[in-house]
Chain A
Amino acid sequence: MPFAFRASCVLGLLLGVLLSCVGAASAARVDRTVIALYDSTLEPTPSDTLIHTNAEMPLNHLGFVLDYYDVSQDLPSRDALGEADGVLTMFPGNLRHQSAYFRWLRQNADVIRKLIVLGEVGGDLTDENRDSINALFERIGLRVMPQFVERGTSAERLATDETVIGFEVPPDPILPAHPLVEPRGEGAEIALSYEVNAGRRVRTDAVVAFGEGGAYAAPGFFLYYDDALNMKRWIVDPFVFFHRALDVPVFPVPDTTTVLGRRLYFSHVDGDGWNSVSQIERYRGTDTSAAEVMIAELFEAYPDMPVSLGFVLGDLDPDFGARPDSEALVRRAFALPQVEVASHSRTHPFVWGFFEHYDRARELELMASARGEQAETVIDRLSRLAGIGPSQDAVVAAYHDLPRAYMRDPFDLENEIGGALAETEALAPEGKPIALFQWTGNAKPFEAAIAATRAAGVRNINGGDIRFDDQRPSTGYIAPISRFVGGERQIYAVNANENIFTDLWTDRFSGFVQMRETFERTGAPLRLRGINLYYHTYSAERAASLDAIKSHLDWVRTQDVIAIHASRYAAIADGFFSTRIEAIGPMEWRVSDRDGLDTLRFDAAGDREVDIARSRGVLGSSRFNKSLYVALDPAERQAVVALAPFSGNGGEPSGLAEANLSEGSWIVSAFSRGEDEISFDATGFGPGEFAFRDVPQGRYRLDATGPAGAAEDLEVDVGADGLMRIELDMDARQDSVRVSIVPLSAQEPVPSGVEERA
């Protein structure tokens, strides 16, 4: 190789390294961590905290991940504080070690960017404690005073910012008791304040306020809770409150509600009740199991609707009530293309905590106690003498006071998870992998259990119990995305199942129809969640519950959603936490480590649009209400998203390179977009619907090639509006469809959206 060439190669390499270093140096990581402080002597674990059950969801929606610290064990270091956007507290009362906490506050006041205090400050209002917290409150423009405003104090409302106050319920006209916090200087933006008599003087009582140093909301003024009704509603708008408190800059929020511009939909079933006999009248006398009814009427009757079936392996055991057709039915279900293989454990734990430090002797005691003090039953004795196994009554929990359903054998974590996953996968057609573990019972697994699912290479889901309707009349009932347990992450289901609508499956069997309200309220005006139809096999025991599920399936078919498997949702949710965002220029970000997440969101983005030319790995974008959703190419792992001022649909696009895939009903991969062609692979459920914007006017040819030689050839006309809509009637559930779009020769303008099938 000539020297000059070698030298130029080396030089080029060095230059490349230098440029990448410069690039890296100029990239600023977008911190999206909020430190959440709690006291385990008051709230035992992070998922028990007021923060988790109230504040974490709106913070997730804004793109933030919470990092929990137990103040009774370990307070955050200065380094940790320096990397976090802020510190949030929502203490239920005084901390056990309040002195240490307030001392830590004072010592770290200079490094805490923002302090957000919802409710109690965490200690007595001594001079020393107040001095500590005021070191931070003064940066908000507030000062905690020694006086206390008693309940019912006569007060005159001074200021109300209606963009923040009165989100779900107005403030109570009878003031709740709270400490007096006064504005100090001009730095505070007061959202709610009163004039009160305190300490023989008239004072300004700032109960909700923001400032450069964070925000504060007094106890009783941000969330209303009625302990007799056991219901809550937000007084402040938590989304606006946290946005202002953290002074959130513009950055692409990893979004878990939308895929390819459409609200996501998935369904998952827990296998409980597999062997129950259906009591539906039309099956009377036929000994048809709920499983069979479910498969026929909810799976096979809806081949376009994906569903993940979590099977309880113990349901195949004759000791636990298996029927002759139990195994055949599960094989039948798993063989369906739209059914995803999942596990719902082996012995169905009800109380996961019991098994973290499992004690078989204790479990046996509980079993004996549940059966009463009587000696073994006659049947048990005869069975034992005949060498037959114990009766079902002896080893199957009839109710949830016992730690799991199937108790014959000692519990073993590996067997319960890894073993159950492997044996369940063996019931599926060869080559169809198991993808998901669906938590059972109280859905509060311990760290090692979650780790076992990760080690087995599957996603996990369940817990959360999201419901948002007149019976749970608050966004406060929408759970956050996940629950952290030690170093592991459990992904919550997106919606509740039929249990809470049917009095735990004892009455009101049509009650699950009410789930529709949650589907709708979590979709608009803010799209807070996708749609998750989650139920148990035993819903097929009753006509009313079966019909309720059908009503939802029928409704989903009428919505513009993208149907995915539950494991894909879990991957998206995992991606929310792993996604790394770096600002690499004005309105330009590099996004990596996304796991399964492929949508970013910008809120209040009416004045901006995606600059496809400057972006990389962007399939397209769409708008819903005030938000801009950006769909990323799953193949591009280091996507770049650039925004530009909204051009207002001006200018005719010159070629397909600027075409914007704004929505689709199938998952797209291997996407290629050039001046003269767009091509991609797609898999999904139902008809394949795609919409492109910014397409040059003209006629286009679309070729779609699917599995088993299926093909469609279409000609599509695009009018002046630049909109191309496609609908493919092919089966893309298991094998992908290859789509190619090329322009044909110039044609006379025709009405847009007209497609002519060849």
Chain B
Amino acid sequence: MLLRNTFWAGAGVGFAALLAVLVIAPGPFEAISMLDRDQRGEAAADLGNTIFSDGEGDVRFVEKLADLNRSFGDAKMQERAIDTLLDEDPDSELALRRAAEYLSHTQDIDAYIEILTRLADVTSKPKDVELLARTLRLWGEFDAEEEILASFVDVPLSPELSLRQAEILARADRGEDAYRVLSRTVVKNGPEKWATQSLLFDTMLDLGRTQEATRDAETWVRAGLSEERQADLATRLANQGLTEEAMALAGADRASGKLPQALAWSLGNQGHVDLAREAVHAWIDRVPEDKAIDGLRLYGRIAVSLNSMRPLYGDLYTLLSSDRPDDRRTGTDLASVVYGLQGFAAIAGIRHLLDAETVAKRPLFAASLAKADGRANAIRQYLQAVDIDHLTKDEAIEWRSLAEVSLTPSEIATILRQSFARNALPPPLVPVLRQAAEQAGFVDPIFDPRLRDERSRRS
């Protein structure tokens, strides 16, 4: 009895043990994971490869096995494991990424590109499309790259790749798609910025979105687009007959407030003196009155340089004939510019439109006119009214040439020394002062720079 009880007790214990082993024995995944956890990756990979070769193991196991072989084991077994995962689910993003990662470290570029293509098709994620497109381009597969970029239009890519995508779409006459891509592309700086703006602008023009193109261009101008590029865009508008838009863009406010010389010249040199005029006049309208003459000089130089005198004379006639004093003043300034560039003969035709009161506000010009008229006293009077401190170099030379024949050395010295005392005497007139003072017998350190320097040294 006791023996039978002992037997059955032992059998029961054995059965329980067997049951315990069956219940808690690790499966394939657990087995290799435990080895890996114990820093025995090589053993884990070996065991896993054996199990795998026997056809066992679920997806989780195969994934683990692929990773183990990547790290510690056999690349071929890694590939087999990945292939198994892909057979299981060809569109599994995880499996495709594993495959891509594996192939990125092999020498099979065709297989790598194929997997990247499948991955991009499945995920449509920007990073996947980018990697595929760039890889194709690196390997000179431009047609395939174009195909990819043209098909993933709704995937937001990096600025550089978006630009390229838009270029491809534009060439394929898919303007709306190019527009969509470019509109969402933000390029803060770098070489792609202008290229993106330029292409977007052209695309909008091609699509008839002229108002939008002009508005965008004006925004870019305010944000600092270079004058040359502003001119480029305005010219494009003009070349398409969009005169009003071209004028608007040419006159767009540059925010810097500086005279847009490069803009005006660029427009003029491209055959658009009218746009250059608009750019200058728009600037004149925005600056204080005393600055306007700078704009008029620029316009005058451009018109003369490019032999575009007809509109210039049209402006002169209109302004000088106006009832508005401001217009007549502007016209007088413009006339003085033309006179300075081309002499009296150039303004002979509108001479009669110049009224004395307005002309007197430009005393140097008035002096020149008085000289042409032979009015000696008027010359003297006007020369003495000139604001010597703010003469330009050319104006100073003009003043000098008039003063030397119209004023006495004493008068010249007296006029100039005041400006000299303010340290504002234009350089071309310094030797004039010196000579006049000498001739007048003035020995006054206040206008003799040599004496003044010595005196200040002594003090």
| Chain A residues packing against B (C-beta within 8 Å) | 150-152, 166, 168-170, 172-174, 177, 200, 224, 226, 228-229, 231, 233, 279-281, 284, 469-471, 473, 501, 507-511, 513-514, 517, 542-544
List of B residues within 8 angstroms of A233 by Cβ: 138
Q: Which of B75, B138, B194, B198 contacts A169 (CB 8 A)?
A: B138
For the complex formed, measure the closest distance between the CB of B181 and the CB atoms of chain A, giving whole angstroms: 14
CB atoms of A543 and B42 under 8 A apart: yes
Of the residues A177, A281, A469, A543, contact of B191 by C-beta under 8 Å: A177
Q: From the candidates A174, A226, A284, name the one contacting B138 in the complex (CB within 8 A).
A: A226
Provide a sorted-by-A list of 28 A–B residue pairs whose CB atoms are within 8 angstroms: A150-B194, A169-B140, A174-B167, A177-B191, A200-B270, A226-B134, A229-B135, A231-B138, A279-B40, A279-B41, A279-B42, A280-B42, A281-B42, A281-B43, A470-B106, A470-B109, A471-B104, A471-B105, A507-B71, A509-B71, A510-B74, A511-B105, A513-B75, A514-B106, A517-B107, A542-B42, A544-B42, A544-B72
Contact A151 B191 (CB under 8 A): yes
Partner of A151, one of B70, B131, B195: B195
Q: How far is the CB of B273 from chain A (nearest CB, A)?
A: 15
Q: Are A281 and B46 within 8 A (Cβ)?
A: yes
Shortest beta-carbon contacts, A-B, top 6: A169-B140, A151-B195, A470-B107, A170-B140, A470-B109, A152-B167
Q: Within 8 Å of chain A (Cβ to Cβ): is B15?
A: no
Q: Does B183 contact A (CB under 8 A)?
A: no
Q: How distant is B108 from chain A, measured CB to nearest CB, in Å?
A: 8
Contact (A284, B75) CB under 8 Å given A177-B191, A224-B138, A233-B138 = no
Besides the known contacts A166-B140, A543-B42, 5 further A-B residue pairs in the complex with CB atoms under 8 A apart:
A151-B195, A177-B195, A507-B70, A509-B72, A514-B105
B270 to chain A, nearest CB (A): 7
Q: Which residues B120-171 have CB closer than 8 A to chain A?
A: 130-131, 134-135, 137-140, 142, 158, 160, 164, 167-168
Chain B residues whose CB sits within 8 angstroms of the CB of A200 once the complex forms:
270
A469 to B104, CA, bound (A): 11
- Whether B268 is near chain A, meaning CB under 8 Å from some CB there, is no
The answer to whether B138 and A473 touch across the interface, beta carbons within 8 angstroms, is yes
When distances are taken between beta carbons in the complex, the residues of chain A under 8 Å from B142 are: 170, 172-173
Given the complex of chains A and B, what is the CA–CA distance between A507 and B101 in angstroms? 13
Q: How far is the CB of B143 from chain A (nearest CB, A)?
A: 9
Choose one: A152, A172, A173, A510; the contact of B199 (CB below 8 Å). A152
Total inter-chain residue pairs, C-beta < 8 Å? 86
Which residues on B sit within 8 Å (CB–CB) of A508?
70-71, 105
Given A172-B142, A228-B130, A508-B105; A279-B46 close (CB under 8 Å):
no
Whole-angstrom distance between the Cβ of B49 and the nearest chain A Cβ? 12
- A152 — which chain B residues lie within 8 A by C-beta? 167, 195, 199
Query: Is B39 interfacial (CB 8 A cutoff)?
Result: yes
Q: Considering the complex, which residues of chain B in the window 77-127 have a beta carbon less than 8 Å from any beta carbon of chain A?
A: 104-109, 112
In the complex, what distance in Å separates the CA atom of A170 from the CA atom of B191? 22
The residues of A that contact B175 with a CB separation of less than 8 Å are none
Digit string of B217-250 for contact with A (CB within 8 Å is 1, else 0)? 0000000000000000000000000000000000
Residues of A within 8 A of B363 (CB): none
User: Is the pair B191, A228 in contact by a Cβ cutoff of 8 Å?
Assistant: no
Which residues of chain A are near B139, meaning CB under 8 Å?
169, 473
Contact A228 B158 (CB under 8 A): yes
Within 8 A of A (CB), among B181-215: 191, 194-195, 198-199
Residues in B neighbouring A542, C-beta threshold 8 A:
42, 72
A229→B134 contact, CB < 8 A: yes
| Contact between B138 and A279, CB atoms less than 8 A apart | no
Q: How distant is the Cα of A170 from the Cα of B167 in the complex, in angstroms?
A: 19
Complex Cα distance A166/B104, Å? 24
Q: Is B260 an interface residue (CB 8 A)?
A: no
Query: Count of chain B residues with Cβ under 8 Å from any Cβ of A?
Result: 39
Contact with A along B22-56 (1 / 0, CB 8 A): 00000000000000000111110010000000000
User: Given A173, A174, A228, which contacts B134 in the complex, CB threshold below 8 Å?
Assistant: A228
A contact residues around B194 at 8 Å (CB): 150
Residues of A within 8 A of B112 (CB): 470
Residues on the A chain within 8 Å of B71, using CB: 507-509
Q: Cβ of B73 and Cβ of A544 under 8 Å apart?
A: yes
CB distance from A711 to the nearest CB of B (A): 46
Please measure, in the bound complex, the distance between the C-alpha atom of A511 and the C-alpha atom of B72, giving whole angstroms: 10
B168 to chain A: which residues have CB within 8 Å?
Answer: 174
Shortest beta-carbon distance from A520 to chain B in Å: 10
User: Given the complex, which residues of A lie within 8 Å of B160, measured CB to CB?
Assistant: 228
Q: What A residues does B72 contact at CB under 8 A?
A: 509-510, 542-544
Measured in the bound complex, the distance between the Cα atoms of B233 and A176 in whole Å is 20
Contact B138 A281, beta carbon cutoff 8 Å: no
Complex Cα spacing A511 to B135, Å: 21
Cβ distance A163 to chain B, nearest Cβ, rounded Å: 17
Q: Which residue of B lies closest to A174 (CB)?
A: B167
Shortest beta-carbon distance, B206 to chain A, in Å? Answer: 13
- A231→B140 CA distance, assembly (Å): 13
Complex Cα distance, B46 from A542, in Å, reads 13
Q: Name the A residues within 8 Å of B40 (CB-CB).
A: 279, 281, 284
- Give every chain B residue within 8 A of A151 (Cβ-Cβ): 191, 195
Query: A142 to B373, alpha carbons, bound, how many Å?
Result: 57
Please measure, in the bound complex, the distance between the C-alpha atom of A152 and the C-alpha atom of B192, giving whole angstroms. Answer: 11
**Which chain B residue lies CB-closest to A510?**
B75
Given contacts A470-B109, A514-B106, contact A150 B198 (CB under 8 A): yes
Q: Which residues of A contact B131 (CB under 8 A)?
A: 229
Most buried by B among A169, A200, A510, A542: A510
Q: Which of B73, B109, B158 contacts A510 (CB 8 A)?
A: B73
Contacts of A513 in B (CB 8 A): 75
Of A471, A473, A508, chain B has the most CB atoms within 10 Å of the CB of A508
Q: How far is the CA of A281 from the CA of B73 in the complex (A)?
A: 12
Bound form: Cα–Cα A544–B41 in Å: 11
Contacts of B106 in A (CB 8 A): 470, 514
Given contacts A507-B70, A508-B71, A514-B105, contact A226 B137 (CB under 8 A): yes
Measured CA separation A578–B88 after assembly (Å): 63
How many Å from the CB of B99 to the closest CB on chain A?
15
B residues in contact with A510, CB < 8 Å? 72-75
> Contacts of A470 on B, CB cut-off 8 Å?
106-109, 112
Q: Which residue of B lies closest to A148 (CB)?
A: B228
- Could you say which of A166, A279, A281 has the most chain B C-beta atoms within 10 Å of its C-beta? A281
Residues A469 and B107 in contact, CB atoms below 8 Å apart: yes
Q: In the complex, A685→B255 CA distance in Å?
A: 78
B107 touching A514, Cβ below 8 Å: yes
Contacts of A170 in B (CB 8 A): 140, 142
| Residue on B nearest A151 in the bound complex, by CB | B195
Contacts of B199 in A (CB 8 A): 152
A226 CA / B71 CA spacing, docked (Å): 29
The answer on a CB contact under 8 Å between A279 and B107 is: no
Least CB distance from A455 to B in Å reads 43
In the complex, A229 Cα to B137 Cα: how many Å?
11
List the B side residues contacting A514 at CB < 8 Å.
105-107
In the assembled complex, which residues on chain B have CB atoms less than 8 Å from the CB atom of A501?
A: 105
Pick from B46, B74, B142 the residue with the most CB of A within 10 Å.
B142
**In the assembly, what is the distance between CA of A284 and CA of B39, in Å?**
11
| Chain A: minimal CB distance from B157 (Å) | 10
Closest CB-CB distance, A67 to chain B, in whole Å?
A: 33
CB neighbours (8 Å) of B167 from chain A are 152, 174
Interface string of B292-318 (1 = CB under 8 A from A): 000000000000000000000000000
Output the least CB separation between A283 and chain B (Å).
11
B160's nearest neighbour on chain A, judged by CB, is A228
Residues of B within 8 A of A469 (CB): 107
- Give CA–CA (A124, B299) in the complex, Å: 27
Q: How far is the CB of A229 from chain B (nearest CB, A)?
A: 5
Tell me the smallest distance from the CB of A512 to a CB of chain B, in Å: 11
Please give, as numbers and ranges, the residues of chain B lying within 8 Å of A228 by CB-CB distance: 130, 134, 158, 160
Q: Which residue of A lies closest to B198 (CB)?
A: A150
Contacts of A279 in B (CB 8 A): 39-42
With A and B bound together, what is the CA distance between A15 and B164 in angstroms?
Answer: 75
Residue of B nearest to A170 (CB): B140
